[in-house]
Structure 1
Amino acid sequence: MNRGLQNANKGFTLLELMIALTLGLIVSAIAIQLTLTAQKGVSSQQAMSNLQNDALFGLEAVVRDIRLANLNASDVVINDSVLHGGIVLDAKNYTSKRTGAGLGDVELVDALSLGNIENTSNLSGVKSDQLVIQYKNMMEDQFDCEGAKIPVNTFVVQKYFIRKDTAKNEPNEPFSLACKAFTYTGDEPAKIDLSGNGEIIIPRVDYFGVMLGVAKDKCVDTETADALMSCFGYISINDYMALTTKPQIVMLKVGMLVRSTNSTGSNDLFNEDKLYEILNVNSKLKPNTKNDQYMRSIVTQTIALRNGFGIEKQE
């Protein structure tokens, strides 16, 4: 009788309870860690997926439009003086009218390709470029980069540029690659206005650069002094405009540093001293405590211009 009562009242000892509690805490910690790791993995995969979609599909749209540059142009040569040339570098690309000083007689509002635009990059000591193209549309049911329908027999001008987007507690400036379009008819436009925000093509771009691929017939080898059939190279927009004699433009290179729109959380592998090499630029990100929370990718594309390889006119 007493032995049965003793067995009925027997329970866990304090040591057994402490061991069970410790094991439970360990299992809970492992479960929490696995959950956090899984969530971080999902966030990283989602960020990479969004980054690739933005970069690849956005760049594809830009390249598709740039390939229209010089379409239905009156001259196969592209430079800063050919009327309606595919790459717009000067007012002479818009009109044959001249001022008393010999300049193109047209009012321009932010309507030229330019290099080193202020406050357009999240790379240290580097500024983004601005690209302006034009072509003549001769088909029905065509649309510009802002989604507006283009009338037939109309010149289309499109500007690709970096602008600020709505701040969302992100690192550095929330820059985006945008496009602004303008159309005109006839050879003597009074005004070309490409001001305004335009339409965002890629939502987060830390840098946008452009290099002009140029060619010139009968170059001379500086070492042997022998005449060459042609010479070819890439040059920045500003360096091209600084040349006294400008060669024809036959190709473009565009490059971007694209950032994910959503955060992946802190990344221990992030290197704040990493140099990003994009075309002729080699620079690191401007310092920011949130730089390690986003993924980035460099995308570049070389684009042959329509009719760009036409024979340069001989004087």
Structure 2
Amino acid sequence: MNLHSANGFQGNNIVAKNKKHAGFSLVELMITLTLGLIISGAIIQVLVSSSVTNKLNQAVSQVQESGRFIMSRLSKEFYEVGRYDLITANIDTSVDIVAEAAYVQNNSVALAGDFINNATLGTVQTGSGGSDKLVVSLLGTSDCTGNRHGYPVDTEFHVVNHYFVVGSELKCTGYDGRVLRGLKSQTVSPITVTLLDNVESFQIQFGVSDEIMTSQGQAISYVTADQLANLRASNQLVVSLRWALMLKSYQNEVRQTTAQKFALLNEAEKTMDTAHYYQVFSKTLALRNMKNFVRSSR
């Protein structure tokens, strides 16, 4: 083989090697980068959407769990409003229990002025969209906080429970009704407990009977607390409760696209923020003890 042929063969090998090690062209790189950005953007969007959905699901679950808990608890406690059992209950007899029974049954929903030792304590219809306040009387072994106020175990006494909202907390303060009425000196101080956090609104309406001398114990209308005094003076008593609670999620990053609007019972509609999940829980409960009392009073 001559030198010219050898040089030609060597040149062909160099060209072949250069072809094997050639990189992407600028156009190919731009296409690749563009596709990569599109795919990365799609993945990020999926992750963001998944995160938002997960936060919303957590918020819904949390609010519903809280709603079920508080509605169950309030139902059990409200069901006893107006109860005074003179036959089978083991009642502390340090006061006149017949007079006490009449007081509890006729004042099952307490109003301001009912208690001589706390004249301002009573059920309130709060204006300007604020949460209502509920004060009820019943015979029980303890108040809403579990406080027995020094009474012996298993004995029952006049319990007064005050439900109200401070900030975003639904609270309850329990009292000894006998102390409030001036029949007994206070030996154990009232206790206040928080029943639930993240409460946006608490509203109450009252189902009242017609005049008790002719009543069947059915609610003929639902009214607000500011109407109760006049109805009580007309011998119309509360025989059922209707309440509504608006709860909001703990999370403030739900980021809903549309603001939720709610109207609780008689309240005006309110537009809530989009950073929380809100839900309303409501219930109407017949007060069995009050229905029976009204019927027996005919």
Aligned equivalent of 1:170: none
Residues 113 and 237 in structure 1, CA contact (< 8 A), matched pair in contact too: yes
Q: 1:126 aligns with which of 126, 129, 153?
A: 129
Residues of 1 paired with 2:130 and 2:235: CA distance?
A: 24
- Output the amino acid matched with 1:146: T
- 1:267-312 per-residue CA deviation (whole Å, 9 max, x = no partner) reads 11225xx3x22222232147xxxx1111111111111113212326
Q: What is the deviation of 1:48?
A: 0.1
In the alignment, structure 1 residue 284 sits paired with structure 2 residue 270: yes
Which structure's residues are more often helix, by fraction? 2
Aligned partner of residue 114 in structure 1, secondary structure:
coil
Higher relative contact order (CA 8 A, sep 6+): 1
Change (3 A) 1:189 1:246: farther
CA contact (8 A) 1:108 1:191 kept: no
Q: What whole-Å deviation, never above 9, does each CA across 1:171-215 have from its counterpart, x for those lacking one?
A: xxxx2211111235587245799987x222221122111111111
* 1:246 to partner: Cα distance: 4.2
Q: Structure 2 matches for 1:260-279, cutoff 5 A?
A: 260-271=249-260, 274=261, 276-279=262-265
CA distance in 1, matches of 2:175, 2:203: 22
Aligned ranges 1:50-65 → 2 under 5 Å:
50-65=62-77
The RMSD of aligned alpha carbons is: 3.3
Matches within 5 A, 1:232-243: 232-243=220-231
- Consecutive unaligned residues of structure 2, counting only runs of 5 or more, are 1-12, 87-100
The separation in 2 between residues aligned to 1:312 and 1:281, in whole angstroms, is: 35
Letter in 1 for 2:206: L
Which AA in structure 2 matches 1:299?
Answer: F
1:134, distance to aligned residue in structure 2 (A): 2.0
Q: Do the aligned partners of residues 213 and 292 (structure 1) sit closer, same or farther apart at CA in structure 2, a change above 3 Å counting?
A: same
Checking the alignment, whether the CA contact within 8 Å between 1:219 and 1:230 is kept in structure 2 is: no
Which residue in the other structure is 1:253 paired with? 242
Output the CA distance in 1 between the equivalents of 2:219 and 2:264. Answer: 23
State the alpha-carbon separation in 2 of the partners of residues 154 and 231 from structure 1.
28
> In the aligned structure 2, how far is the partner of 1:228 from the partner of 1:146?
34
* TM-score of the superposed pair, with normalisation by structure 2: 0.76
CA distance in 2, matches of 1:71, 1:58: 21
Q: Which amino acid aligns with 1:302?
A: T
Provide the residue aligned with 1:44 in structure 2.
56
Instruction: Return the structure number with greater strand share.
Output: 1
TM-score by length of 1: 0.72
Q: Verify the 8 A CA contact 1:109 1:193 in the aligned structure 2.
A: no
* 1:135-214 matched pairs, under 5 angstroms: 135-137=138-140, 144-148=143-147, 151=151, 152-164=155-167, 175-183=168-176, 188-189=183-184, 198-214=192-208
- SS, match of residue 62 in structure 2: helix
Q: CA deviation at 1:27?
A: 1.0
Q: Distance in 2 between matches of 1:137 and 1:146?
A: 12
Paired amino acid for 2:118: L
Q: How many pairs were matched up?
A: 262
1:19 aligned onto 2:31: yes
Question: Structure 1 residues 37 and 180, CA, compared in 2 at 3 Å: closer, same or farther?
Answer: same
Alignment CA distance shift 1:114-1:194 (3 Å):
farther
**Alpha-carbon separation, structure 2, partners of 1:264 and 1:257:** 19
